A = this chain, B = another copy of it.
Amino acid sequence: MTYCGGILVREGLVMFADTRTNAGVDNVSTFRKLHVFSDPNKRIMAIASSGNLSITQSVLSILTEGYTNPDTGEHETLMNAPTMFQAAQRVGHVIRNVHATEGKALEAADVTFDVSFLFGGQIMGERMRLFMIYPAGNFIECTTDTPYLQIGEHKYGKPVLDRAIIYDMDLYDALKVGLVSIDSTMRSNLSVGMPIDLLVVRRDICEAELVYRIEPGEPYFTDLRERWSAALRAAHIGIPRPPYGRV
């Protein structure tokens, strides 16, 4: 399993991803799922992936190496996409190509083609965008009404995002809420695990402000987890007991 999220607020973009992969509980490894593509001051793009690792890695390799567009004969990569929208289309296109190549053999082996991607970033002169791309290659874009997207094991960490993320919040507060969301997920699902990869990009800068890996035992994240647990306990203690039943 996996948990990745992207938060797009007025000040910029936060993306986070865990690194645990597992084929059964006795085969657990660490693989990077958050990948940053950058041409400083010109474009910054990042992809977070969820699902079968052989498929997601193939998609990433093809997007990096590039492929020839049969209609135009041009060599297309993420880094030479004219717009963020066309870059998202390229991600979808490559997913479909991998499906065409690998899908039948995987299906015969009872492996479902279950990949999802978050794709975010900005090309200078264009607005910052964040997309979620489905296994069929179609995609949706994050908007200000719900300024976040999730892939993988998204349920445990959703209540805190639903309540705390708003478009006008501070960029590092958004990161903080994202970390709380990861904490809730890791606590409830063993197949989501440390280390955690982070990316913060300030709007209109087109360069990463933060690329960071939180390793197990890292002091800030350990403190955040303890404070959040204590705050949750305090929060329900502060609510009066139900008046029902008792005389």
Give the complex CA separation of A194 and B164 in angstroms.
24
Q: Is A180 on the interface with B (CB-CB < 8 A)?
A: yes
**CB within 8 Å for A220 and B245 given contacts A156-B159, A159-B156, A187-B159:** no
How far, in angstroms, from A232 to B163 measured CA to CA in the complex?
Answer: 8
Is the beta-carbon distance between A238 and B227 smaller than 8 angstroms? yes
Determine if B160 and A232 form an interchain contact, defined as CB atoms under 8 angstroms apart: yes
Contact check, A229 vs B163: say whether CB atoms are below 8 A apart.
yes
Known: A155-B188, A175-B242. 5 other contacts (CB 8 A): A158-B188, A159-B188, A164-B232, A212-B244, A212-B245
A interface SS class? helix
Which residues of A1-41 are within 8 A (CB) of B?
none
A128 on the B face (CB < 8 A)? no
Residue numbers in B under 8 Å from A172 (CB-CB): 241-242, 245-246
8 Å CB contact of A241 from B162, B164, B173, B236: B173
Can you give 15 contacting A-B residue pairs, CB < 8 Å?
A155-B188, A156-B158, A156-B159, A162-B188, A164-B233, A172-B245, A173-B236, A176-B239, A177-B236, A212-B244, A220-B242, A220-B244, A231-B231, A231-B238, A234-B235
